[in-house]
Amino acid sequence: MTVHATHESHLVTTGLTQAAGRYFGAPVTIENLTRESGGASRQTWSFDALTADKRHALILRRDPPTATGDRSGSLPRAIEFRVLRAAFEAGVRAPEVLFELTAEDGLGDAYVMRRIGGTAIARKLLRDAPYAEARGKIASQLGDIAARIHAVDTAKLPPLAHRQAADHIAALRRQLDALGTAQPVFELALSWLDRRKPAPVARPVLVHGDYRTGNYLADQTGVTAILDWEGAHLGDPVEDLGWLCVKSWRFGSVDKPAGGFGTREELWGAYQGAGGCKVDPARAHWWEVFGTVRWGIICHTQAWKHLSGALKSMEMAAIGRRAVETEVDLLQLLKSGG
């Protein structure tokens, strides 16, 4: 570990000791602190908080005060905290958030939630032996959970952007323009989407915004928690179902559209069974095409973070060359009608 990283661990331990002490109302010792993942700006740390009588397995999500430029379109942590709380209280399988940190804790925008078992690594869930039984359940569990997310009482949510199809298309075109290289396949697909925009939903719902394999935890029993809520907004519930079926989120299990685990019909059936609306296949297809364009353009914007010098990273640069995967998929999708 570098000197800088050690210093950062010390800083995080100090801030957590103070904040957790306040929350538990008693002295707390922080143990097993490890940085999980994420970039320099949006960090996830795993740790245990020991009170006199109990060990609490927890997660810290934080945006360091110095971080810049890597949170475009993402919710501030304070809003994400309130979305997670509302979802958890409505019975959604999501981590239970416990407390927010304050400026005095010195860690930037941050909150703490309970740690939940399971892995988010798609490759393991799709191929490893321990998950054989779970693989048969995940598609319908995801349909069930999506219905519960979309049923969260919007009056209990913090203010969130309402994004309709037209807003999404405009946002992607702005991102393409910012890249500065012409992208005929994405332009074709965006015009296709523009001509077929689904009618705005009568009642916009809580949309997770990044509902896909890789963004939930699962164990041998299947899905344990939905993660990564920073793209949450109000909109069309079918947006989440379409995004989940984008081919890139099947991680090689291409014949199983529902996140690599099942058919679209299984997903929609479970969704409706748990109180979700009846899914119109044409609307779902539209959102799947949209999601495919969205991921392709995200690939370019990720590479651009490296190219612009904002965030030097070989991995980010390499993602730029993945955009063409979505161009292949788009040409197939546009041929298959809709």
Partner 1 sequence: MAQDRPTASEFLNAIIDFLREEATPALDKADPRLGFQMRVAVNSLAILEREERLGTAADARELDRLRELLGRDGTLAELNRELARQLRAGERDETDGALMAHLELTIADKIAIANPKWR
Binding site for partner 1 (CB under 8 A): 173, 181-185, 187-188, 190-192, 195, 254, 314-315, 317-318, 321-322, 324-325, 327-328, 331, 334
> Cα–Cα distances in Å, from 275 out to 94, 257, 279, 288?
18, 22, 11, 22
Nearer to partner 1, 49 or 316 (CB): 316
Nearer to partner 1, 114 or 197 (CB): 197
Residue 185 C-beta: closest distance to partner 1, Å: 6
Residue 183 C-beta: closest distance to partner 1, Å: 6
Q: Which of 20, 141, 154 is nearest to 83 (CA)?
A: 154
Q: Which of 242, 239, 274 is nearest to 259 (CA)?
A: 242
Residue 337 C-beta: closest distance to partner 1, Å: 10
Residue with tokens 């049923």: 151
Token pair belonging to 210: 């990044």
* Phi and psi based region of residue 228 (left: phi greater than 0; alpha: psi -120 to 50; beta: remaining): left
Nearer to partner 1, 14 or 183 (CB): 183
Nearer to partner 1, 89 or 187 (CB): 187
Token pair belonging to 260: 């690599």
Nearer to partner 1, 252 or 273 (CB): 252
Residue 303 C-beta: closest distance to partner 1, Å: 12
Residue 36 CB: number of other CB atoms within 10 A?
Answer: 12
Residue 194 C-beta: closest distance to partner 1, Å: 8
Instruction: Please answer whether residues 211 and 258 qualify as being in contact, where contact means their C-beta atoms are separated by less than 8 angstroms.
Output: no
